[in-house]
Amino acid sequence: MRRFMFIALLVGVTGCASSGVRHVATVSVVSAHAVLAATQDTEMLLVCGKPGAPAAPACVPLAEHKVISAKLADAFGVDVQVATIIRDWPATGAAPTSIGALLGQITVVVNYVLDHLPPGALTTKLLTVIGGAK
Amino acid sequence: MTFTIQALTQWIALGEQILNTGQDALTAVKAAAVAHGIEQDTAQLDAVILDASLRRAMAIGQAEANKGPNG
């Protein structure tokens, strides 16, 4: 079972706001977004029947693609939410406590998609790019 | 959703930049925001919000489509 875990860059964040802490949070969400986007792009290339996609069983069945897409839609919604929280984080305010949990929700979706991608060159490339492991 | 880039002319220039250079939208939005004096982290976050919103819309379309990915 493939697993991907975002590095908990916010571990040890103090309650004191500083430009450094906000920057770390920004890097975290930018990284999470990049992983989620790469996962979506790879899955789209592997949908059965799409030009260039491998033949079954090395492709993602349409029914599963719809399930995955629904989960990705939720994950990108969380992505927007956490990026907005960080962007709107006041300079004098304490670090928002919800960021870690929200990033965790994105991780769950990424791992679900990884578990449902068929083995092959594109999946291997994705794992290499995002640092996941089987 | 609010954007820190407001002017219509800036959006047109951004669109032309993307079309003419092949630069991906995320990078182009960030570069344009920074060029207009917007703090880099804020520009990054705005770019993420924009790209994530577009991708969410695409995912919703895929989840609700009655046909395959090519319509």
What are the beta bridge partners of residue A60?
A47
pLDDT at A7: 44
Window 38-97 of A: residues touching B by CB (8 A cutoff) are 40, 44, 47-51, 62, 65-67, 69-70, 72-73, 76-77, 79-80, 83-84, 86-87
The answer to whether the CB of B27 falls within 8 A of the CB of B35 is no
What pLDDT, on the 0 to 100 scale, is given for residue A94?
A: 81
Residue (of A100, A110, A98) closest to A33 by Cα position? A110
Give the pLDDT of chain A (134 residues) as one tens digit per residue: 556 555 444 433 434 344 578 888 899 999 999 999 999 999 999 999 999 999 999 999 999 999 999 999 999 999 999 999 999 988 777 888 899 999 999 999 999 999 999 999 999 999 988 886 55
Task: Identify which of B56, B71, B20 has the alpha carbon closest to the alpha carbon of residue A72.
Answer: B56
pLDDT tens by residue, B3-40: 455 555 566 666 666 666 666 767 777 776 666 666 88
The CA distances from residue A7 to A25, A26, A71, B37, in Å, are: 11, 13, 22, 30
Q: Which residue of B has its CA nearest to A62?
A: B68
A43 in Cβ contact with A60 (< 8 Å): yes
How far is it, in rounded angstroms, from Cα B29 to Cα A30? Answer: 14
Residue B4 DSSP code = S
**A114 — contact with chain B (CB < 8 Å)?**
no
Nearest-CA neighbor of A43 among A75, A81, A78? A75
pTM value surpassing 0.80: no
Report pLDDT for A21: 83
Q: Count other C-beta atoms under 10 Å from residue B68's C-beta.
A: 13
